[in-house]
Chains A and B, each alone.
Chain A
Amino acid sequence: MDQNQLDPEFAAYPLRELADTALGQARKLGASHADFRAERIRGQQIRLSDGGLETQYDTDDLGLAVRVVVDGTWGFAGAVDLTAAAAARAAAEAVDVARVAAAMNTEPIELADEPAHGEVTWVSAYTVDPFSVSVAEKTALLADWSAGLLAAAGVDHVDASLLQVKECKFYTDGATTAMQQRVRVHPSLTAVSVGPDGRFETMRTLAPPAGRGHEYLTGTGWDFPAELAAIPALLAEKLAAPSVEAGRYDLVIDPSNLFLTIHESIGHATELDRALGYEAAYAGTSFATFDKLGSLQYGSPIMHVTGDRTAEHGLATIGFDDEGVAGQQWDLIADGILTGYQLDRRMARLKSLGRSNGCAFADSPGHMPIQRMANVSLQPAADGPSTQELIAGVTDGIYIVGDKSWSIDMQRYNFQFTGQRFFRIRNGQLAGQLRDVAYQATTTDFWNSMEAVGGPQTYVLGGAFNCGKGQPGQVAPVSHGCPSVVLRGIRILNTAEEAGS
């Protein structure tokens, strides 16, 4: 959106001159490829405990990065000062690193071609820069929301938090020079109720983090007052709810819960670096190995999953990735069959897949870009049913709302999730909440048991700020859109029994 101005402080640095210095130095020292990034990343955390200010923390990370290929080996160096001397030194260090690393490298680095995009500018879609709003105003809003919850019967404690990020990025490899800026916000409130016997429950807002500005807190894209008004009664009902009986149930899963299951069981499983083993010792590999491309029956035929870096307000949305590749959308799973992966330029060339689909990302100027997740989303059925209609089709089941705990194995087979709210479904009707619920499944069993997907009216773009991957560890924000869905015969655990009580 053109009305949002590029951060003037960042734009005032002599970025092109620094890039020329770094790229020139790298080539002089023997690099066959060199790219340059400069970034300013502002962050602000505000946390309240029972309405009192617990944390107020502003961060402002600035730096540059030089990545080179020397004799077929990567070299990378970051620096903190946006000065010509630092740029030249980082280029020299990156070349040095490549030379030290060459003794251990057996796969020459080559990159897929990408059209030259020239000089480009991209700014994400938001109205109010969160850093233009005073801390006092934001704290007062959170305190007001906290007070409203604390005033309700049965609410003993309230945690409120607001995370805000503004990323400014300058990239050039000579062919493409991109100046980009995006913001994201994540407001969240959790109410806690402690019973007289010491048992406690929590209830958190479902508002997803979003690639939006401060307007998200004041009525655009989410109705916080309405959601907060419903929390105390939901919490009281949960504290008094019966413990679930373990067994197999039909599930209706709300987008507020399903986005995270998509993230773990599809998003990470369709990262080509994992499928090729580059993450084998850390994040893990994938059961969806490259030989299964085009044949793996990932899920039922109604399953259509896309990757994109283009969805409006998506957390992984960007104009150009950290290798100068333009944002795209593509199929990962079509008609239930694995049809695509998330790529960077090196892997696209290695596997002869043509152009990269633009998934290179580094979370800071101190880190080398790696393949990170696009927005990975399950598409709704064009004329599909509402959530209520999906529930109406279930005789004996559970409706799961909101994410909480998550865990999945290193090949993305076996997962276990909990949630915020679990409603018993009897004869197509909701019949009160349950507690102590977790669902456990194997990825392909789970998605092949998907019987129905809801229509566009059920679709919500969820997401997270904190997806971790890589060594050194990098954190990336990512969104996942999905409709409500129906799955048959999923294993439900009772978590109190699992704990031996």
Chain B
Amino acid sequence: MSAQSGPTQSGSEVAQSGSGVALSPQDTVERALAAARSDDCIVIADESSSANLRWAGNTLTTNGVARSRQLTVIAISRRGGEARVGVVSRAGVLEHQIAGIVAEAEFAAAEASPAEDAQPLVTSMTDGPPAPSWQEPPLVTEIGVFGRFAAELGGAFDAAASGARKLYGFAEHQLTSTYLGTSAGLRLRHDQPTGRLELNAKSADLIKSAWAGVGSRDFTDVDVVSMDAELAQRLDWAARSVELPAGRYETLLPPTAVADLLVYMYWSAGAKDALDGRTVFSKPGGGTRVGEALAPLPLSLHSDPAAAGLQCAPFVIAHASSRESSVFDNGLPTSRTDWIADGTLGALIQTRHTALLSGQPVTPAIDNLILTAGGAEGTVADLVSRTSRGLLLTCLWYIREVDPQTLLLTGLTRDGVYLVENGEVTGAVNNFRFNESPVGMLSRITELGATTPTLPREWGDFFTRTAMPPVRVEGFNMSSVSQAS
């Protein structure tokens, strides 16, 4: 059964064997909390399912479906102002193993040193029973989610073969239902569909290459035929090839490339590291750069759990503490957060712990990212038409941090760099290695188009929910030529 046709009853399904039964995630959470002897306890039950197809050279290569069931128990032992935490996360837990997992977590807490991010547990904003959805079984995806899409893809393989193109790519659909319960009475549930399609077309000699990608919640909105047509047009653009040297170029970045650069910047925007003086967002002499202007244009970079088409968890789900998250914050509501407002750094990723250290608001990480600029309008094609000479990129690849001080990133252009002259694409250019900082780049964005949903090519394994405009950047640093095609 596919996601769009509604939930299946896997939650009530019982895996029966000599070694025990699997409880529903809700019952698992309640059973674990009932078994808890520590001062506080947080239990997260994740039920995940996924289906994927992968193809290369107009033929399917691998595929699969998988399910997992993960129980995470966070035991907290409090003494004075200190709290010690033990976290145990285990797959495939059966009923008779639940109490043992809780005991393991409590043992880990007992021998842990005090947690630096200790806070009271989050309590419910409203009294009363959990929302009705708490009792509903988890959502499940299966290979059938690709039913119509797979047929269209088969057709696209035929069309590509007759057009001397080879198609490569990957389609994946995942559904995770998360049940969060705490000894403070919180009962929260979140269903997260995550889907993506990446389509790559190459000429028969593999020299020319073009790429397109989309995120999707259910694959009903994916149009392979039009994506393939767009890729065919880009391969046509490459009929004329132009060799250009390294250098700084006026460059048009499409939404996917903007997403990849800004997602990395977002991941680097932790308040803890900034306070420690070790990121691009640290203020020399101490503190953070919140309040500083980063861009002359009125850019807004924000996350919003309710963003249409990009919906994500409206509360914190933290399986373990890290520099940017705290298990103590589990269940904390999240809402629209402007990381950059009107071109000025507005917020860094904060836990309740780091908010106390920084004196700034509690702004936890949210699993989507959106860049807008007032009433900016226009597509990539519109930006091309307003360009006298510049480069148009398709996407970026192998992005890595070179220097945290400036957040200098390096990486490659991939699957199509085009020369734009007098408002038109006039040929395909060799690939480049770039060295650029997304923070420095913000000050050199001279024009933006309309914001559209896009899939970050590089970070799509980890972060799919983005909406970005195409942008024009002055002096984008192409550090050297790459022979790759």
A440 to B61, CA, bound (A): 34
Q: Would A411 and B64 count as touching, CB distance under 8 A?
A: no
Q: Which residues in A have their C-beta under 8 angstroms from that of B92?
A: 62-63, 80-82
CB proximity to B under 8 Å, residues A266-324? 277-282, 284-285, 287
Closest A residue to B481 by beta carbon equals A414
| 8 Å CB contact of A411 from B198, B277, B484 | B484
Q: Are A410 and B114 in contact (CB under 8 A)?
A: no
Closest CB-CB distance, B122 to chain A, in whole Å? 20
Q: A52 — which chain B residues lie within 8 A by C-beta? A: 113-116
Taking a contact as CB atoms under 8 Å apart, the answer to whether B64 and A97 are in contact is yes
Q: Of the candidates B57, B67, B202, B405, which one forms a contact with A200 in the assembled complex, judged by CB atoms under 8 Å apart?
A: B405
The smallest C-beta distance from B424 to any residue of chain A, in angstroms, reads 27
Min distance, Cβ A473 to any Cβ of chain B, angstroms: 4
| Chain A 419-454 residues near chain B, CB threshold 8 A | 436, 438, 440, 442
> Does B206 lie at the interface of the complex (its beta carbon under 8 Å from any beta carbon of A)?
yes
Question: Given the complex of chains A and B, what is the CA–CA distance between A496 and B440 in angstroms?
Answer: 12
Q: Taking beta carbons and an 8 Å cutoff, which residues of B are in contact with A?
A: 15-19, 22, 50, 52-69, 85-92, 94, 104, 108, 111-117, 143, 146, 150-151, 153-154, 157, 166, 168-170, 172, 198-200, 202, 206, 211, 272, 276-278, 282-285, 319-323, 397-406, 408, 410-412, 414, 431, 433, 435, 437, 440, 461, 475, 477, 479-485
Separation of A74 and B63 alpha carbons in the complex (Å): 7
A1 within 8 A of B: no
Contact call A407/B58, Cβ cutoff below 8 A: no
The closest CB in chain B to the CB of A65 belongs to B66
With A277-B206, A405-B400, A409-B398 already in contact, the answer to whether A284 and B484 are too (CB < 8 A) is yes
> Is the beta-carbon distance between B65 and A499 smaller than 8 angstroms?
no
Other-chain contact of B408, A370, A409, A410, A499 (Cβ < 8 Å):
A499
Separation of A96 and B170 alpha carbons in the complex (Å): 19
Q: Is the pair A280, B206 in contact by a Cβ cutoff of 8 Å? A: yes
Contact among A367, A407, A468 with B64 in the assembled complex (CB-CB below 8 Å): A367
Whether the Cβ atoms of A198 and B284 lie closer than 8 Å is: yes
Report, nearest first, the 10 A-B pairs whose CB atoms are least far apart.
A198-B284, A83-B17, A281-B168, A136-B111, A281-B200, A57-B320, A411-B484, A194-B277, A366-B66, A76-B64
Residues of chain B within 8 A (CB-CB) of A498 are: 402, 408, 435, 477, 479
Which of A100-108, A208-216, A249-257, A377-385 lines the interface with chain B? Answer: A100-108
A281–B211 CB distance below 8 A: yes
Residues in A172-226 with C-beta less than 8 Å from chain B: 192, 194, 196-200, 202
Residues in chain A within 8 A of chain B (CB atoms): 13-14, 45, 47, 49, 52-63, 73-86, 93, 96-98, 100-101, 103-107, 134-136, 139-140, 143, 156-157, 192, 194, 196-200, 202, 277-282, 284-285, 287, 366-368, 370, 405-414, 416, 418, 436, 438, 440, 442, 468, 471-473, 491, 493, 495-496, 498-501
CA distance A442 to B482 in the complex (A): 8
Please determine whether A79 and B111 come into contact, CB atoms closer than 8 angstroms: no
Given A83-B16, A84-B17, A199-B405: A409 and B484 interface contact (C-beta under 8 Å): yes
Docked-complex contact B397 and A409, CB < 8 angstroms:
yes
A107 to B431, CA, bound (A): 31
Select from chain B the residue with minimum beta-carbon distance to A98.
B63
Contact A281 B198 (CB under 8 A): yes
Contact indicator A78/B276 (Cβ below 8 Å): no
Q: Which of B277, B411, B482 contacts A413 (CB 8 A)?
A: B482
Q: Which residues of A contact B272 (CB under 8 A)?
A: 49
CB pairs A–B below 8 angstroms (8 shown)? A56-B112, A58-B89, A58-B90, A80-B67, A135-B111, A140-B113, A409-B414, A501-B406
**What residue in chain B is nearest A366 (Cβ atoms)?**
B66
**A318 to B485 alpha-carbon distance, docked (Å):** 35
Instruction: Find out whether the CB atom of A58 lies under 8 angstroms from the CB atom of B55.
Output: no
B74 CB to closest chain A CB (Å) equals 10
Cβ of A414 and Cβ of B412 under 8 Å apart? yes
Q: Which residue of B lies closest to A46 (CB)?
A: B112
The CA-CA distance from A53 to B82 in the complex, in Å, is: 12
Interface pair B484/A56, CB less than 8 Å apart: no
Distance of A385 Cα from B99 Cα, bound (Å): 59
Contact A405:B410 (CB < 8 A) given known A82-B19, A100-B143: yes
Which of B282, B403, B481 has its CB near the most chain A CB atoms (within 10 A)? B403
Q: Among B62, B104, B399, B479, which residue has the most Cβ atoms of chain A within 10 A? A: B62
Q: Are A96 and B143 in contact (CB under 8 A)?
A: yes
Cα distance A76–B402 in the bound complex, in angstroms: 39
Q: Are B477 and A282 in contact (CB under 8 A)?
A: no
Contact (A198, B283) CB under 8 Å given A63-B91, A104-B55: yes
User: Do A406 and B284 contact each other (CB < 8 Å), given the known contacts A60-B89, A413-B484, A414-B480?
Assistant: no
Chain B residues within an 8 Å CB radius of A74: 60-63
Contacts of B168 in A (CB 8 A): 277, 280-281
A366 to B62 alpha-carbon distance, docked (Å): 13
Of B67, B211, B461, the residue contacting A78 (CB under 8 A) is B67
* Structural contact, A500 and B477, CB atoms closer than 8 A: yes
Please pick, from B66, B87, B483, the residue contacting A442 in the complex, using a CB distance under 8 A: B483
Quick check: A281 and B480 within 8 Å, CB to CB? no
A97: B residues at CB distance < 8 A: 63-65, 143
| Nearest CB in chain B: distance from A414 CB, A | 4
User: Which of B15, B18, B61 is in CB contact (< 8 Å) with A86?
Assistant: B15
Residues of chain A within 8 A (CB-CB) of B398 are 407-410
